[in-house]
């Protein structure tokens, strides 16, 4: 058994999820707050001793960038308060789409974020459905990369959908293939015993889809589109409309991270999508029309992995790839 006391804290952006994770674990959140200055600067602080403790800081780094900065400062504060280990639990890892130089004179944002987390003093990272698996290699500390398929697949099975096919948004973002999308679809198809439809998209620029075609049998199928994130919803809504025009009986989507920026909610409600299944790594906006959304919680999965890591148990057996 672990000899170091465990304590949980949450960044302000993920308190809703942190409460569920610690409840599943069987404890409560530690006390912390954030002092805000009139110019927008802020200073997180721990309101209890964490000396010698293994500290888990739960914070997804979705926009605004304050969420990332708060996480970095909480890691630094924990180090300076003599925490034994500091683990960043980042259900959604922001900037993950910037995992390579896909055109001249651009940053590799995911690597920069990894460097900042390392510089702050993090000892371990926990996250879910990274946009690109190679981001794990940007860190020199252990990375536990969880998969939402372990949550989505049982739910999809419970729906008992006949003639089910999995669609992969196997796109081309500035002529670079999204191989992770095809791999992800393959995983779902394997566990659900279904064929795959490849959706091929071409972009003129980020967040703008030019044209889209489908490769595979569509007519008479109930299609499930799987992806790691949904941002403006332009791609997925275009895919749903295209699949229905090709003769699909219905189209659903299972998307891990609901970024949902700009007109995303309105696009989804106006589209052919029957249901959009997401996790709670990022909160939905309660003022929006959410009748097409089903939210599945990642809290139990993260609580299980945290317990295993803290008590030096193996975790590979729960990875549902």
- Residue pair 76/105 in contact (Cβ under 8 Å)? The answer is no
In the structure encoding, which two tokens stand for residue 310, read together? 């803290």
- Written as one string, the DSSP assignment of 58-73 is E---PSSTHHHHHHHH
Chain-centre distance of CA 229, in angstroms? 7
Q: Which of 111, 201, 285, 288 is catalytic?
A: 201
> At residue 92, what are phi and psi to the nearest 5 degrees?
-115, 125
- Residue pair 239/225 in contact (Cβ under 8 Å)? The answer is yes
What span, in angstroms and rounded, lies between the C-alpha atoms of 90 and 131? 13
Please tell me whether residue 87 adopts helix, strand or coil conformation: strand
201 is catalytic: yes
Nearest to 240 by CA among 271, 218, 207, 262: 271
DSSP 3-state percent helix, strand, coil across the chain (nearest 5): 35, 30, 40
What span, in angstroms and rounded, lies between the C-alpha atoms of 313 and 306? 10
What span, in angstroms and rounded, lies between the C-alpha atoms of 107 and 184? 26
- Residue pair 145/130 in contact (Cβ under 8 Å)? The answer is yes
The CB-side HSE value for 130 (13 A sphere, CA atoms) comes to 21
Question: What amino acid positions are annotated as catalytic residues?
Answer: 201
């Amino acid at each position: 058994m672990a000899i170091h006391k465990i304590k949980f804290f949450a960044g302000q952006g993920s308190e809703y999820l942190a409460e569920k994770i610690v409840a599943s674990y069987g404890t409560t959140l530690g006390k912390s707050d954030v002092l805000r200055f009139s110019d927008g600067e802020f200073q997180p602080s721990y309101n209890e001793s964490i000396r010698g403790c293994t500290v888990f800081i739960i914070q997804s780094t979705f926009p605004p960038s304050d969420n990332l900065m708060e996480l970095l400062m909480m890691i630094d504060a924990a180090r300076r308060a003599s925490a034994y280990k500091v683990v960043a639990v980042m259900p959604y890892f922001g900037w993950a789409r910037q995992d390579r130089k896909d055109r001249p004179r651009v940053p590799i944002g995911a690597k920069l974020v990894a460097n900042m987390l390392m510089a702050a003093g993090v000892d371990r990272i926990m996250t879910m459905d990274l946009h690109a698996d190679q981001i794990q290699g940007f860190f020199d500390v252990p990375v536990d990369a969880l998969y939402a398929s372990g949550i989505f697949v049982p739910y999809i099975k419970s729906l008992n959908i006949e003639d089910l096919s999995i669609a992969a948004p196997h796109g081309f973002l500035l002529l670079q293939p999204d191989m992770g999308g095809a791999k992800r679809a393959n995983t779902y198809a394997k566990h659900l015993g279904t064929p795959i439809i490849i959706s091929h998209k071409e972009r003129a620029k980020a967040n703008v889809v030019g044209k889209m075609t489908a490769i595979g049998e569509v007519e008479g199928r109930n299609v499930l589109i799987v992806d790691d994130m949904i941002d403006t919803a332009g791609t997925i809504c275009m895919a749903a409309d295209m699949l229905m025009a090709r003769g699909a009986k219905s189209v659903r989507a299972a998307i891990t991270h609901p970024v949902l920026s700009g007109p995303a909610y309105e696009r989804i409600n106006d589209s052919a999508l029957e249901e959009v299944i997401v996790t709670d790594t990022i909160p939905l906006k309660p003022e929006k029309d959410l009748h097409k959304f089903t939210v599945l919680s990642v809290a139990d999965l993260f609580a299980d992995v945290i317990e295993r890591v803290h008590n030096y148990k193996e975790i590979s057996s729960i990875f549902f790839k």
